[in-house]
Structure 1
Amino acid sequence: MRPFWKKHGLVMLGGICQGFGMGVFLFPQSIPSGGAGGIAILLNHFLQINMGPALWIVNFSLMLLGIKYLGKRFTLWTLIGITMTSLAIDFFETHFVITHRNLMYDLVIGSFFLGTGIGILMRNNVSNGGVGVVAVMISHGRNILPGKPLFYMNSVIFLITAAVISWEIIFLALISQWISTTVIDLVCRIDIPRSYSFGWRKKP
């Protein structure tokens, strides 16, 4: 039972880190947190769905893609992660208000926490939902780190979102993705003693 609760705690931590980066820094500046965030913005634009529910719907819908390929256990852990992230976003948006904002500070700090949270989840073989599910599938299939495929897929979604909403967001979104995916790969590469390992990948 100890490994279960250890993983559960780390998944919760990953979701909280994501929610903190999104709710406190990125979303207040209208910076998409990823491909799912870009799709959620489009849903908000066309269907007038609030960002919180829209993001959860997108994450949950894409998460279903992972059931057949990665199994029910993976899907359950991902559901826990995306739910914790959504709850954290609502909490931080409600209780943390920054009166004097700086766009670049919000961009860098928010992207750092976003990448840290996703990295923690992926080290535990748990997706952050959305296109992260597809990134995990690609990383498993090709035995590569998930940062690059996540970056490329998100970039395509950002281009579509920018074309519909505003071209100004594309630059902020791409910078955010570069920072966060770099942090993801750094977190996945950290050499942690086996007794404290998250279990992302064993060395030969």
Structure 2
Amino acid sequence: MTPRLKSTADRHSLAEDAQGLALGIMLCGSGLHILTHLGLVTGQTAGIAAILSYLTGWSFGAVFFVINLPFYWLAWTRLGAEFTLKSLISVTALSLLTEWLPNVWQIGEMATGYGAVLFGCMVGLGLLAMFRHNGSLGGIGVLALWLQDRTGFRAGYVQLAVDAVVFAVAAFLFAWPVVLWSLLGAVVMNLVVAVNHRRDRYVAT
């Protein structure tokens, strides 16, 4: 079942969807740029991509793109062609953006705690913008949205549970301060989504 507005007449136009998804991609990409600048990790597929990127030296954008590929089948069969296409475009755009941002945005000194909170706020808001326009960044977000539509269990809480597993693995690979600051950012991000992502509030007027 695809997340929908209440009626066809209330659906967003193509231009509205494009600006909403673009906003979400910019916010998420900027948040991830802060995250990787500080050497932190996060949960979900982005967290897995970040960990692999740190350990192997491979490009975060390329790893993130590849990790998302298996989830498109679930998106296509469970959430519909429109959602899948928007997610594919969004993941591809985010992967390219994260490769380009270091060339135009050189981050200077930043307190790790503030950076973690800023990351959480920016990516949480970015995800809200994308969910609002029937898109996502694929991966665990696809599973979380599908479960929310099926069961009513908040997408943010599903992501929080998955994050716990990812961080348990990260605890064996990275220093504790890195893991704890990263956990703060992930909690902020998921709380932003959990508190604000309610489909009954997202009705075009």
Q: Establish whether TM, by shorter chain, passes 0.5.
A: yes
Mapped contact 1:26–1:32 kept (Cα < 8 A): yes
The DSSP-based 3-state class of the residue aligned with 1:129 is coil
Q: Hey, what does 1:17 align to over in structure 2?
A: 27
TM-score, normalised to structure 2, is 0.83
Mapped contact 1:36–1:131 kept (Cα < 8 A): yes
Equivalent positions of 1:99-118 (< 5 A) are: 99-118=108-127
User: Which shows bigger deviation, 42-51 or 129-138?
Assistant: 42-51
Deviation digits for residues 139-173 of structure 1, max 9, x if unmatched? 11112321100111122112113323444433222
Structure 1 runs (4+) deviating above 6 angstroms are none
Structure with greater contact order relative to length (CA < 8 Å, sep ≥ 6): 2
**In 1, Cα distance between the equivalents of 2:18 and 2:169?**
35
Q: Hey, what does 1:200 align to over in structure 2?
A: none
Pick aligned residue for 1:179 from 188, 191, 196: 188
Note if 1:141 corresponds to 2:150: yes
**In 1, Cα distance between the equivalents of 2:152 and 2:117?**
29
The DSSP-based 3-state class of the residue aligned with 1:65 is helix
Pick aligned residue for 1:7 from 17, 21, 31: 17
Pick aligned residue for 2:135 from 111, 126, 131: 126
Structure 2 unaligned blocks of 5 or more: 1-10
TM-score, normalised to structure 1, is 0.83
Question: What is the aligned-residue RMSD (CA, Å)?
Answer: 2.3
Q: Percent identity?
A: 23
Q: CA deviation at 1:191?
A: 4.6
User: Which shows bigger deviation, 49-58 or 37-46?
Assistant: 37-46
User: Which shows bigger deviation, 126-135 or 30-39?
Assistant: 30-39
The 1:97/1:59 distance shift into structure 2, 3 A limit, reads: same
Q: Hey, what does 1:202 align to over in structure 2?
A: none
The DSSP-based 3-state class of the residue aligned with 1:32 is coil
**In 2, Cα distance between the equivalents of 1:73 and 1:193?**
18
User: Which shows bigger deviation, 154-163 or 40-49?
Assistant: 40-49
The 1:11/1:191 distance shift into structure 2, 3 A limit, reads: same
What one-letter code is carried by the residue in structure 2 that aligns with 1:6? E
Structure 1 unaligned blocks of 5 or more: 196-204
**In 2, Cα distance between the equivalents of 1:162 and 1:2?**
42
Give the number of aligned pairs: 194
Q: CA deviation at 1:121?
A: 1.1
The DSSP-based 3-state class of the residue aligned with 2:135 is coil
Q: CA deviation at 1:71?
A: 2.0
Mapped contact 1:33–1:114 kept (Cα < 8 A): no
Q: CA deviation at 1:37?
A: 2.5
User: Which shows bigger deviation, 115-124 or 154-163?
Assistant: 154-163
User: Which shows bigger deviation, 146-155 or 64-73?
Assistant: 64-73
The 1:87/1:173 distance shift into structure 2, 3 A limit, reads: same
Q: Hey, what does 1:153 align to over in structure 2?
A: 162
